[in-house]
Amino acid sequence: MSLQPAYRVSVQVPPAYVQAVQDGICAVEPLRGGHYDRVMWIDAVGEEQFRPLPGANPAYGRIGELAKVASVRLVFTLPRDPQRLARVIEAGIRPHHPWEVPAIFVDECLIWAPLA
């Protein structure tokens, strides 16, 4: 076991879409951790807010009005490989997420993991 460079990815998801986003991510990346896969943290339901501006095509809310919606945060790690990260975001998250611009956060970190 050692510290390995990784990306920690967080994405805010409306509760009704959590399973679809999880399945989309895991269809392109197994999210392995040792002898486990689909390793992911799921936070309790919170609230996300935004105001669609002119030119937006919101799945929820109206142009110019503040919208508040329930949201769950999914968090997972990936080996620090930019191509894998891009594939997870473009093929795993975005097609399965209802928002025009999903809230996706990526941090570089170290994770304690088995040597590959």
Residue with tokens 């999903």: 102
pLDDT of residue 63: 96
Residues 17-42: what's their mean pLDDT? 95
Q: Write down the pLDDT at residue 115.
A: 57
pLDDT in tens, 43-71: 999 999 999 999 999 989 999 999 999 99
Q: 60: domain range?
A: 2-113
pTM of the model: 0.89
Number of domains in the chain: 1
Q: Is 4 exposed, middle or buried (0-12, 13-18, 19+ CB in 10 A)?
A: middle
Comparison of pLDDT for 115 and 68, the residue scoring more? 68
Assign residue 98 the CATH number of its domain. Answer: 3.30.70.120
Predicted local distance difference test score (pLDDT) of residue 12: 96
